[in-house]
Amino acid sequence: LLIVLENAALMLFGSDFRSVSVPYQVQGFRLGDIFIGAPYLYAFAAALFLSAALWLFLDRSWTGRAIRAVAQDPMAATLTGVDTRLTYGVAFGLGVALTAFGGAVILPYITVSPTIGGQFVVVMFTVVVLGGLGSVAGALAGGLVVGIVQSVSTLFFPIQLQNLCLFVIFIAVLALRPQGLIKGA
């Protein structure tokens, strides 16, 4: 499906790289010797806020509980009165909305092309598995681990080896804790 979507986007939009310019793109904050660009800080704050909102939604709302119930056991959820077709639709819509929001948040500091998705799919898979399948807190922890490993690895290795360092940590965590950092639902 990714290959079909990428090639359709290539035919529609071409293969040119595109970027978005925002007023705060060159602004930032200094913490000692470290400079943090404003787009990165805003993206981090937005991710924290959205993660907390998602966790509250999945944990406290009836719809969120229905999504979790259908994910764990669709037959049992149906027997308790949950409309699984509607729940699948809501979960899919929520996933699309969160993906669109994530894409909009990172636009100020990346260039975009139709083939950029493959890079992120591998890293997202790593985040979810590291954190523990079915755990919002685990996904947040996995994301922090991935971010720290990628940032620190560039201090010691060329940037081309950034993902190699990530996959070494990924394999080590899978060997030591196959359920992930935080056990899922």
Task: Dump pLDDT digits (tens) for 54-111.
Answer: 999 999 999 999 999 999 999 999 999 999 999 999 999 999 999 899 889 988 888 8
Residue of higher predicted confidence among 85 and 140: 85
Domain boundaries, the chain: 32-112, 113-184
Strand partners, 36: 29
Alpha-carbon distance 105 to 107, whole Å?
6
> 30, 116 in Cβ contact below 8 A?
no
Mean pLDDT of the chain: 88
Name the residue among 10, 37, 3, 35 with its Cα closest to residue 121.
3
Q: Is 114 helix (H, G, I), strand (E, B) or coil?
A: coil
> 92, 106 in Cβ contact below 8 A?
no
Helix (H) and strand (E) counts in the chain? 8, 2
**Is the whole model's pTM more than 0.75, yes or no?**
yes
Sequence-separated (6 or more) residues with CB below 8 Å from residue 71: 91, 134, 185
The predicted structure's pLDDT at residue 184:
60
Q: What percent of the chain has pLDDT over 90?
A: 32
Q: Tell me the CA end-to-end span of the chain in Å, nearest whole number.
A: 28
Residue whose entry in the numeric block shows the structure tokens 């699984």: 84
The predicted structure's pLDDT at residue 185:
53
Taking each helix axis as running N to C, give the angle between helix 38-60 and helix 136-156, from 0 to 180 degrees, rounded to the nearest 10.
Answer: 160
Alpha-carbon distance 146 to 170, whole Å?
9
